[in-house]
Amino acid sequence: MSSLSDVEIAQSVTPKPIIEVARELGLSEEDLELYGRYKAKISLDVLNRSSNKLGKLVLVTAITPTPAGEGKTTTTVGLGDALRQMGVKTAIAIREPSLGPCFGIKGGAAGGGWAQVIPMEDINLHFTGDFHAITSAHNLLAAMLDNSLYQGNPLDIDPYSITWKRVMDMNERALRDIVIGLGGKTGGVPRQSGFDITTASEVMALLCLSSDLKDLEKRLASIVVAMDKKGRPITAASLKAAGAMAVLLKDAIKPNLVQTLEGTPAFIHGGPFGNIAHGSNSIIATKMALQLADIVVTEAGFGSDLGAEKFLNIKCRTAGLSPHLIVIVATIRALKYHGGVSLKDLQLPN
């Protein structure tokens, strides 16, 4: 008999109403902003409840993975479910998937088998709109930058020094390097630019390192987008863009609450890549989970030499946290791959 696919497994389980999942953490309906029956955002007011004692943090990392991934998320979800089965008040805290890898070779990032977060399709696709808000905030800054050039360049920006591209949440090779501003006299200033993927945006990284909306606005203001012709930095503050960007992110900064197949509470918030950013979910979501659960299981992107190092040296230092335990996922498949076995032969006995 053939085994069930991840999609079939996820669709075979009826989720609990998210209000019930929230009650397990001591949250009330007033603490939630519902996105249907099975998804919710949590009010930032929950962070201000100083009476809550922080739980213990468990970090899941891995050997340097193969292109298909080695199972950090699956292990994170499974460990969270196992602890909850033992009667421990547990939550997991992981990143939001990006549409690009979801439609690429890597696939979704909601776990696998019977260790998944649900509603899996929603989480892997548009979810609560956080990535769209981040895309909009990033591209607003890009538009204001180009508009400043068009309106007589009052900041004396050097067009050849501009580093701020636009973003979209998709793997789109044809848009990585393009020429913009070819619409004639009213079409802007022609220059070379391009698109990055939303998860590579500095806005994504800053949202995940911020402690609140005010802190986020301050960090956004410091983004350097170009230099002027005297070599001085042009920032989002120079363009007076930070406030508008923060307003676009006022809902995206709130953590998302969903559940595993077994009903374990899951905080899924933010998704910076581990290679060009720090590769872990938001500080706000992790701290909130630690306030509400006795043990929080989280993960860091890529291998331990990349994601875990950044988790410890960037996220933990910024947040004032440190893990109580670190789990390393190591697979025979990865050992074979790094030993020189080709990707197509990894499943063959050796």
Assess whether 150 and 238 both reside in one domain.
yes
Assess whether 82 and 188 both reside in one domain.
no
- pLDDT band for position 292 (50/70/90)? very high
Give the span between the Cα atoms of 242 and 233, in whole angstroms: 15
Secondary structure letter of residue 344 according to DSSP: G
- Domain of 81: which CATH number? 3.40.50.300
12 located within any domain: no
Task: Return the percentage of the chain with pLDDT > 70, whole number.
Answer: 98
> At 143, is the secondary structure helix, strand, or coil?
helix
What's the whole-number average pLDDT of the chain? 93
Task: Report the range of poorest mean pLDDT among 135-144, 182-191, 314-323.
Answer: 182-191
Give the span between the Cα atoms of 271 and 131, in whole angstroms: 9
Residue 1 has pLDDT above 70, yes or no: no
What total of structural domains would you count in the chain? 2
Assess whether 194 and 243 both reside in one domain.
yes
Assess whether 123 and 226 both reside in one domain.
no
Domain extent at residue 226: 130-248
CB contact at 8 A, 85 and 290: no
Give the global pTM.
Answer: 0.92
Assess whether 157 and 243 both reside in one domain.
yes
Residues 305-335: tens digit of each pLDDT: 999 999 999 999 999 999 999 999 998 989 9
332 located within any domain: yes
Using the 3D structure, point to which of 218, 248, 278 is the last residue of a domain. Answer: 248
Cα atoms in the Cβ-side hemisphere of radius 13 Å centred on 36:
13
Assess whether 242 and 138 both reside in one domain.
yes
Assess whether 46 and 119 both reside in one domain.
yes
Assess whether 167 and 224 both reside in one domain.
yes
Give the span between the Cα atoms of 225 and 159, in whole angstroms: 10
Assess whether 193 and 98 both reside in one domain.
no
Assess whether 136 and 236 both reside in one domain.
yes
Residues 263-277: tens digit of each pLDDT: 999 999 999 988 889
**Interacting residues of 138 by C-beta distance below 8 A, sequence separation 6+:** 166, 167, 198, 201, 202, 203
197 located within any domain: yes
209 located within any domain: yes
Give the span between the Cα atoms of 312 and 3, in whole angstroms: 38
Assess whether 120 and 168 both reside in one domain.
no
Using the 3D structure, point to which of 187, 216, 248 is the last residue of a domain. Answer: 248
- Domain of 229: which CATH number? 3.30.1510.10
248-270 burial, b at 16+ Cβ within 10 Å, e below that, comes to bbeebbbbbbbbbbbbbbbbbbb
Secondary structure letter of residue 65 according to DSSP: P
pLDDT value, residue 98:
86
259 located within any domain: no
**Interacting residues of 168 by C-beta distance below 8 A, sequence separation 6+:** 135, 175, 195, 197, 198
Give the span between the Cα atoms of 102 and 122, in whole angstroms: 12
8 located within any domain: no
Residues 195-242: tens digit of each pLDDT: 999 999 999 999 999 999 999 999 999 999 999 999 999 999 999 999
Assess whether 98 and 111 both reside in one domain.
yes
253 located within any domain: no
Using the 3D structure, point to which of 184, 217, 248 is the last residue of a domain. Answer: 248
256 located within any domain: no
Residues 7-63: tens digit of each pLDDT: 899 999 999 999 999 999 999 999 999 999 999 999 999 998 866 689 999 999 999
- Token pair listed for 164: 């701020």
Residue 157 has pLDDT above 60, yes or no: yes
